[in-house]
């Protein structure tokens, strides 16, 4: 059985971390090839030797598939995969376009990684309709849709993109190498004695993550509540300059540190008093499960999908309304005063094991092939 994992590139994000784990574990069970639209990415060198990598160096525009020289169509024709497992909506639609236009026989499994309804909320009515209509048409080419949370699955069903019977929910796994990576040394004076306590964010610095809310909440914690703490922001992105300007505007630059991107954030997370997530939307925010595995207390916005499922409705970390800086500040104050035991948090993280996730993916792949055999027999 040949499985192709289809994605953009190996630039750092939560999807790529999941791709690394899945490619390594599935390669023990089948012939796995990773097809990337573009070369590069921080994680490309971390792929296991057992996984063959094909960089297609092609456009992501679906119209290019019409060309007889389409690199993507040629790849699928020559690779002849049994199953294509694509990640993220744009790539899902691209793989579905190729399958539809060229009648490729591979079984297509699409993986929905985010909250579709929230993503299109601010679009015009026409653009909302067109995106939903396009997804409805193309997702029909898939034998199965894997969603990373029940919230993400419910949105697809409510929007009529795909039927409930074709959906499976599989949570992302916590990386199996975390136990080793946690032990790596770090060099930052704020984390040497963990006093004052450090509140930490590990994410892209873009609009989706709404780090402006975290910064405003932290300013309230320091100025209004008079609580001595520090804020460390790990990550990079297009909003960094505006976020740095906000920190200066609020007068908290002495207590806020922007580290930039760090390949292995786990040793930092183990020393954090709180790992915070202020996103407006998520599918399955890996950072929450990873923080729990590090034994760190977490606070998250209660966006439509992901956080509440990971934290079991708030049992393993406080949930705050999206966009409410005042409530987030209060949650930080209360968590610093009464943190949950690290062993309790680690026990919850064990639910998001690699074994559970990979076995569920493999069962889904086998199920799609068995369904094809049954259809051919009939």
Domain ranges of the chain: 2-173+353-372, 178-351
**Residue of 326 and 185 predicted with greater confidence:** 326
- Considering just the CA atoms, what is the radius of gyration of the chain in Å? 21
* pLDDT band, very low/low/confident/very high, at 377 (cuts 50, 70, 90): very low
- Say whether 178-351 and 2-173+353-372 share the same fold: yes
Tokens found for residue 121: 């909320």
Query: What is the DSSP pairing of strand 198-202 with strand 230-234?
Result: parallel
Under 8 Å between Cβ of 316 and 344 = yes
pLDDT at residue 200 is higher than 90: yes
Under 8 Å between Cβ of 135 and 90 = no
Of the ranges 69-73, 152-156, 158-162, 372-376, which one carries the lowest mean pLDDT score?
372-376
pLDDT at residue 247 is higher than 70: yes
The CATH fold assigned to 178-351 is Rossmann fold (3.40.50)
Distance from C-alpha of 105 to C-alpha of 84, rounded to nearest angstrom: 10
Report the pLDDT averaged over residues 212-217.
98
pLDDT at residue 193 is higher than 80: no
* pLDDT band, very low/low/confident/very high, at 321 (cuts 50, 70, 90): very high
List pLDDT tens digits, range 13-31.
778 888 888 988 999 989 9
Domain 2-173+353-372 has CATH 1.10.10.60: no
Residue 121: closest CA among 303, 343, 356, 255: 303
Distance from C-alpha of 24 to C-alpha of 41, rounded to nearest angstrom: 17
Mean pLDDT rounded to a whole number for the chain: 90
Q: What is the pLDDT of residue 378?
A: 42
Of the ranges 170-184, 252-266, 283-297, 298-312, which one carries the lowest mean pLDDT score?
170-184
Q: Give the dihedral sign, CA 235/238/239/241.
A: positive
Q: What is the pLDDT of residue 41?
A: 66
List pLDDT tens digits, range 330-358.
999 999 999 999 999 999 999 999 999 99
The edge-to-edge listing of strands for the beta sheet with 31-36 is: 52-55, 31-36, 2-7, 83-87, 107-112, 144-147, 167-169
What is the three-class DSSP state of 36? Answer: strand
Tokens found for residue 160: 């009529």
Tokens found for residue 324: 């409410």
Q: For a pLDDT cut of 90, what percent of the chain falls above it?
A: 68
Tokens found for residue 162: 């795909």
Report the pLDDT averaged over residues 99-117.
91
* pLDDT band, very low/low/confident/very high, at 179 (cuts 50, 70, 90): confident
pLDDT at residue 376 is higher than 60: no
**Residue of 18 and 168 predicted with greater confidence:** 168
Rounded to a whole number of angstroms, the distance between the first and last alpha carbons of the chain is 22
């Amino acid at each position: 059985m040949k499985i192709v994992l289809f994605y953009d590139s190996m630039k750092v994000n939560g999807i790529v971390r999941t791709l690394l784990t899945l490619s390594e574990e599935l390669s023990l069970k089948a012939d796995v090839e990773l097809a990337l639209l573009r070369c590069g990415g921080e994680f490309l060198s971390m792929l296991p030797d057992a996984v063959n990598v094909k960089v297609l160096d092609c456009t992501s525009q679906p119209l290019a598939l019409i060309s007889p020289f389409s690199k993507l169509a040629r790849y699928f024709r020559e690779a002849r995969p049994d199953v294509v497992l694509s990640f993220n909506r744009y790539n899902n639609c691209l793989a579905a376009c190729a399958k539809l236009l060229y009648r490729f026989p591979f079984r297509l499994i699409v993986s929905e990684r985010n909250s579709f309804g929230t993503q299109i909320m601010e679009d015009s009515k026409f653009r909302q309709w067109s995106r939903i209509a396009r997804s409805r048409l193309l997702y029909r080419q898939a034998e199965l849709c894997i969603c990373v949370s029940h919230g993400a699955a419910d949105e697809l069903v409510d929007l009529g993109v795909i039927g409930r019977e074709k959906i499976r929910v599989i949570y992302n796994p916590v990386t199996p190498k975390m136990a080793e990576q946690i032990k790596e040394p770090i060099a930052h004076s704020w984390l040497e004695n963990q006093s004052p306590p450090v509140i930490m964010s590990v994410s892209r610095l873009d609009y989706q993550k709404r780090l402006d809310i975290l910064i405003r909440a932290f300013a309230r914690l320091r100025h209004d509540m008079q609580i001595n703490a520090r804020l460390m922001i790990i990550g990079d992105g297009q909003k960094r300059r505006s976020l740095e300007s906000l920190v200066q505007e609020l007068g908290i630059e002495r207590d806020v540190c922007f580290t930039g991107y760090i390949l292995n954030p786990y040793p930092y997370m183990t020393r954090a008093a709180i790992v915070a997530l202020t996103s407006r939307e998520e599918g399955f925010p890996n950072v929450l499960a990873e923080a729990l595995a590090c034994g760190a207390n977490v606070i998250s916005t209660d966006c439509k999908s992901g956080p509440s499922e990971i934290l079991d409705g708030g049992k393993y970390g406080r949930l705050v309304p999206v966009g409410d800086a005042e409530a987030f500040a209060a949650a930080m104050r209360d968590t610093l005063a009464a943190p949950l035991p690290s062993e309790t948090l680690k026990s919850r993280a064990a639910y998001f094991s690699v074994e559970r996730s990979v076995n569920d993916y493999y069962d889904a792949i086998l199920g799609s092939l068995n369904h094809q055999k049954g259809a051919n027999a009939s």
